[in-house]
Amino acid sequence: MTTATSDATASPASPRERHVSVYAELSKLIQGAGLLERRYTFYWSLMLGTVAAFAAIWVGFAMLGDSWYQLLLAAALAVVLAQFGFIGHEGAHRQIFASHRWNEWTGRVISGLFAGLSYSWWMRKHTRHHLNPNKEGADPDIGPGVLAFSPAALAVRGPVGLWFARRQGWFFFPLLLLEGLALHAHSIQNIARRERLEHRWVEILFVTVRLGGYLAALFIVLPPGKAIAFFAVQMGLFGLLLGGAFAPNHKGMPIVPASMKVDFLRRQVLMSRNISGGPVTDLAMGGLNYQIEHHLFPSMPRPNLRRAQPIVREFCERHGVAYTETSLVGSYRIVVQYLNDVGLKARDPFQCPLTAQYRT
């Protein structure tokens, strides 16, 4: 009996191949656990319940009439509209239905007709964020704006801008009160642009009916003072709820220089932060408290994110990938400190050993 031996030896896998293989291993675990399967009962219940709450608020609004108690309904409306924002986000990620078309139109209707936001604007902006979270020059969420997220962003600021940047952490929460207005303004700018936009007239119709009808209802039913107060409470709380759900997930995590390449798994895990909590946190944050799992598997339905967390956490620990989780209050503390550090140039987020460790 003879045995044949081969002189050829397998060449070692490249870092890219190893990293792809690692993510494929995690993906296989998640799929094997059935965590990418649709959760129709949850989403139909959530959507119908949210629409019913929306309708009930407006019935109550009409019945209550000229009263300062309307401000309670304004707060309730903000909570419901934030839920519409989360549902629109999930439709954009194809988390709700198996059909791309059903997800797209659910997201478009919920975002435009109920929340008053441009679905196409959100898709374009949010897709870029998911591809390169916290990457300088690629992630629009850390692009030039009111807040400076890296020392490099301070270079183009004048004296007033630098004064603001040194205190920007303390302005963070007041600015969130304006986030609702900013979202509507960006939406209107998007659908008014001259460049090609798919389903432009549908979005124009939805956003116009929603925002126009809203303002008309306020000023028909309420005197000007109460109408403005209702608008301010609703819009401020809406911005606080949505902005407060999205901001803790990446702000204060490493900023990736434009020239740095990081593999997919580490790019999503190292730049994201989970928020601990229970079912109330899950509802209040629309599942975004499981940011790491959401970024690794964007189409995973919201109820499955909690079930995926122990699998992902254990996998990251086994492969030496830092997995970050903190409380909601703790995350806000980190965000405020981080923004102030950037403004004071006390810390350069580029000098991050965690990110540099995984440069490929």
Domain borders along the chain are: 15-356
pLDDT in tens, 89-142: 999 999 999 999 999 999 999 999 999 999 999 998 999 999 999 998 899 988
Cβ-count burial of 108 within 10 angstroms (0-12 exposed, 13-18 middle, 19+ buried)?
buried
**Residue 73 pLDDT more than 90?**
yes
Please say whether the beta carbons of 244 and 174 come within 8 A. no
pLDDT on residue 134: 92
> What average pLDDT score do residues 351-360 get?
46
**Residue 304 pLDDT more than 90?**
yes
**CA trace torsion 204, 205, 209, 211 (10° rounding):** -10
% of the chain surpassing 70 pLDDT:
90
**Residue 354 pLDDT more than 50?**
no
pLDDT in tens, 307-330: 999 999 999 999 999 999 999 999
More reliable by pLDDT, 133 or 3? 133
pLDDT on residue 343: 80
More reliable by pLDDT, 344 or 66? 66
Please say whether the beta carbons of 302 and 286 come within 8 A. yes
**Residue 357 pLDDT more than 90?**
no
When pLDDT is cut at 50, 70 and 90, the band that residue 346 belongs to is low
Cβ-count burial of 174 within 10 angstroms (0-12 exposed, 13-18 middle, 19+ buried)?
exposed
Range with lowest mean pLDDT among 27-36, 112-121, 138-147, 294-303: 138-147
Cβ-count burial of 182 within 10 angstroms (0-12 exposed, 13-18 middle, 19+ buried)?
middle
pLDDT on residue 13: 52
When pLDDT is cut at 50, 70 and 90, the band that residue 282 belongs to is very high
> What average pLDDT score do residues 245-264 get?
91
Helix (H) / strand (E) containing 235: helix 224-246
> What average pLDDT score do residues 138-154 get?
83
| CA 302 to each of CA 28, 128, 290, 344: distance values in angstroms, whole numbers, following the listed order | 19, 21, 9, 38
